[in-house]
Amino acid sequence: MAEYRRLCEELAQNITAEDLEQLKCACKEDIPSEQSEAIATSHHWFTFLEQHGKLDKDDLSYIEHIFEISRRPDLLTMVVQYRTHVLKISEEDEVDTKLTRIPSAKKYK
């Protein structure tokens, strides 16, 4: 769990206020607008996603998808590294288990 928290903290440090607005916009189908307005920090965004089952230490596919459509390969790379090094999920396992929603995440490894 410590590695997961460290990942979230590192991601949060690399998300500016402008980035956060873009990420919330990418999540608009999953975050009602009144709740989206209340999310003021990236830490709060991660907490919201965790509370609503979109993010878990063992399942980062949702934020991988959001980072890709938001054109943030730097953040996506951090998540992919966590998945392959901490969770020990190889590219072959990804395909077999469909753990990631975006097969193109491999290109950021």
Is residue 13 one of the residues assigned to a domain? yes
pLDDT single digits (tens) 66-83:
999 999 999 999 998 888
Give the residue from 4, 12, 16 showing the smallest Cα distance to 81. 4
The CATH code of the domain that includes 47 is 1.10.533.10
Is residue 56 one of the residues assigned to a domain? yes
Give the residue from 7, 38, 27 showing the smallest Cα distance to 68. 27
Phi then psi for 67, rounded to 5 degrees?
A: -65, -35
Is residue 3 one of the residues assigned to a domain? yes
Q: Could you list the residue range(s) of the whole structural domain that residue 49 is in?
A: 1-88
Q: How many domains, in total, are found in the chain?
A: 1
Percent of the chain residues past pLDDT 90, beyond the cut: 52
pLDDT single digits (tens) 24-49:
999 988 888 888 889 999 999 999 99
Is residue 68 one of the residues assigned to a domain? yes
Is residue 93 one of the residues assigned to a domain? no
Is residue 98 one of the residues assigned to a domain? no
Other CB atoms within 10 Å distance of the CB of residue 14: 13
pTM to 2 decimal places:
0.77
